[in-house]
Structure 1
Amino acid sequence: MPERLHDVVVVGGGPAGLAVALGCARAGMDVAVCEKRTGVIDKACGEGLMPGAVRALAALGIDPPGHPIEGITYRQGAMAAHAAFRAGPGRGVRRTALHDAMREEVLRHGVPVLPIAVTGISQHGDHVRAGGLRARYLIGADGLHSVVRGLAGLTKDGTGRLAGTLRWGLRRHYALAPVTNAVEVTWAARSEAYVTPVGPDTVGVAILSSMRGGFTEQLTAFPELASWISGAEPVSTVRGAGPLRQRASKRVAGRVLLVGDAAGYVDALTGEGLALALTTAAELVRCLRADRPSDYDRAWKRTSRRSRWLTETLLWTRGRPALARRIVPATVRAPRLFSTIVDQLAR
């Protein structure tokens, strides 16, 4: 019997990889997913889905449970600026709930999720081999520290550095009723805290920082937040991720393509990671359906340009203390500009 040739093998069973697998399966392709981790996958994540991400999931037939998000609030000391989403509500969704909903839909479409760790790849004229499987195309969707990116020779020097800083993220959940339907972002000297409602009685607290340290230590930069959660029951363990900045020289090397964090990542500062992963996954599927993988790198750049520019600009400002102190005051003084920026992020 001839050895089976899949149309697509996806390495990585997170949201980006599952979105590609589901999109390909819905297009009639033979797909398999390699994911060495078993069960529902969790990850340090702000867990706020922008309205664009909610729409992208709906297009895939996925409606994960969560809490409505109607906008974003920036805080610094006594100052606060709020901007509502104009394009409909976003949603706060536990990462585990999102993964469970996406995996269920992938399995419903008959896509196997195999407990395989890919440690090598080899490209041939009309196929790629990886993890004992053979496919026309191999998709690296294996996260910030992508093995596939390295094996394909697509890792770019300077990974993890921007303006001389490294940044990390931490996240934990607490049994607290949300006090607002917005993502609350509090700015400190070298870090930001994100409070996201993810259910009627649960909030997620994520901290992004250029300082190393445990979750409790990082909370000291946010005394009001620390006081609010001090008596609440933690309902998850602390999850960490980083360094957040990861660079890829390209997104395509022959029959190997990268998506999600594996394709290159700037920072979680603007909260667009999941939305960008889903929209670029749709572009990748479109290129595979047309059998034009070389088009994907250009499509990725076009689709992610606005997000990358906004994130790079805000992160550049963040890295300069004299300017960073003025970010929240500027949003307070110019609410229409803040609203416009948030509207761009939410699309």
Structure 2
Amino acid sequence: MLEHRHDVVVAGGGPTGLAVALGCAQAGLDVVVCEKRPGVIDKACGEGLMPGAVRALGALGIDPPGHPINGITYRQGSTVARAAFRTGPGRGVRRTALHNALRSAVERHGVPILTTTITHVSQRSDHVRADELRARYLVAADGLHSTVRELAGLTKVTTARSAHVPRWGLRRHYALAPSTDTVEVTWAAHSEAYVTPVGPHTIGVAILSSVRGGFTQQLAAFPDLAARIADAEPLTSVRGAGPFRQQTSSRVAGRILLVGDAAGYVDALTGEGLAVSLATAAELVRCIRMNRPTDYERAWKRASRRSRWLTEGLLWARRQPSLARHIVPTAARTPWLFASAIDQLAR
């Protein structure tokens, strides 16, 4: 009996991996997903979908429930800067709701989701093996600390001299009605707090920081926010993620392609990570359909360039004490500049 060969094996069943699988299935490709965690998967993230992410999901036929987001608000002490989205609304969506919507769509298309972990890969001229599976292509969508990226030799080793200060994230939900239809970002000396409306009576609070510590300890840097949620009922336990920065030497190694956080990650500072992941997932599917995997590296760079440049620039300013304290005041003094930056991120 001839061994069955899939068109695509996707390692990782998070939103990006499922988006790739759904795109492949809609294109008529034989695809299978490998994800060791069964059911709906939660993850620490800001949960604010930029307008570009909402449109990308819509192109896949996905319309997850959530709360409209119409812009971004920056706060630092009494200084406030607001910018509205120019290209349509975003949406605050619980990670579990997003994952459930994508997983349900993938299952409706008959895509198998195997509860297995890929521990070995090898390649030939016309196929790749992922443990016992054989396919024309293997897609690594297995997150920040990607196993497949490591197996493919695509993890870029950072020297101590060039290493960046690592940053981590924590997130928790509270039973509290949103006070605004924007994502509120409050800036402190070494961290930022993101408040995202994800339902009519639910907000998500995420804290990104270069200083390690528990949620309560991190929240102390934001006294106004701490007071606001002091009497609110916590709806979820604290989840963490990081360190954020992950560097890769390439997004392509033969028939292995990287996407999402596995493809390299700068920081969650600007909040458009999922939008970029969905855009690059669509490019990956296009390259696979054309049997042109080498085109994907250039397509990934093109689709992610704006985000990478803006995030690197803002993160660099964040690390300069003399500049960091002026980020929000500058945004408030030059609303046209702030609105332009937000418009670039929202696309």
Match of 1:229 in 2: 229
C-alpha distance in structure 2 between counterparts of 1:90 and 1:156, whole Å: 33
When residues 159 and 212 of structure 1 are mapped into structure 2, their CA distance, relative to the original with a 3 A threshold, is: farther
Determine helix, strand or coil for the equivalent of 2:233: coil
SS of 2:150's equivalent in the other structure is: helix
Q: Deviations over 1:181-221 (max 9, x none)?
A: 00000000000000000000000000000000000000000
Residue 205 of structure 1: aligned partner: 205
Matched ranges for 1:1-347 at <5 A = 1-158=1-158, 164-347=164-347
CA distance in 1, matches of 2:77, 2:176: 22
Structure 1: gaps spanning 5 or more residues: none
Choose 308-317 or 119-128, whichever is displaced more: 119-128
Q: How many equivalent pairs are there?
A: 347
CA distance 1:164–1:262, change in 2 (3 Å):
closer
* 1:293 aligned counterpart, secondary structure: coil
Once the two structures are TM-superposed, the CA of residue 161 in structure 1 deviates from its matched residue by: 9.4
List per-residue Cα deviations over 1:90-123 (Å, max 9, x = no partner): 0000000000000000000110100011111111
- Partners of 1:132 and 1:224 lie apart in 2 by 54
Which secondary structure does the structure 1 equivalent of 2:212 belong to?
coil
Q: Are the aligned partners of 1:331 and 1:337 in contact in 2 as well (CA < 8 Å)?
A: yes
Q: For residues 131 and 82 of structure 1, what CA distance do their matches in structure 2 show? A: 50
CA contact (8 A) 1:163 1:319 kept: no
- Compute the RMSD of aligned alpha carbons: 1.1
Distance 1:125 1:306 in 2: 34
Q: Return closer, same or farther for 1:257/1:207 CA change in 2, 3 Å cut-off.
A: same
Q: Deviations over 1:317-346 (max 9, x none)?
A: 001111000000000100000001001100
> Offset of 1:162 from its aligned partner?
7.0
Question: What TM-score comes out, normalization by structure 1 length?
Answer: 0.99
CA positional deviation for 1:131: 3.2
CA shift for structure 1 position 164: 3.7
CA contact (8 A) 1:50 1:272 kept: yes
Alpha carbons 1:183, 1:194 under 8 Å: kept: yes
Report deviation, 1:39: 1.1
Give me the TM-score of the superposition, normalised by structure 2.
0.99
Shift >6 Å, 4+ stretches: 159-163
- SS for the counterpart of 1:117 is coil
Aligned identity (percent) is: 74
Which amino acid in structure 2 is aligned with residue 20 of structure 1? V
Map Cα deviations across residues 198-247 of structure 1 (whole Å, 9 max, x no partner): 00000000000000000000000000000111111110111100000000
CA contact 1:49–1:93 (8 Å) conserved in 2: yes
Partners of 1:68 and 1:90 within 8 A in 2: yes
Letter in 1 for 2:207: I
Unaligned runs of 5+ in 2: none
The residue identity in structure 2 corresponding to 1:312 is E
Task: Output the CA distance in 2 between the equivalents of 1:41 and 1:208.
Answer: 21
Conservation of the 8 A alpha-carbon contact between 1:167 and 1:208: yes
Contact 1:175 1:233 survives alignment (8 Å): yes
The verdict on how the C-alpha distance between 1:159 and 1:303 changes in structure 2, with shifts beyond 3 A counting, is farther
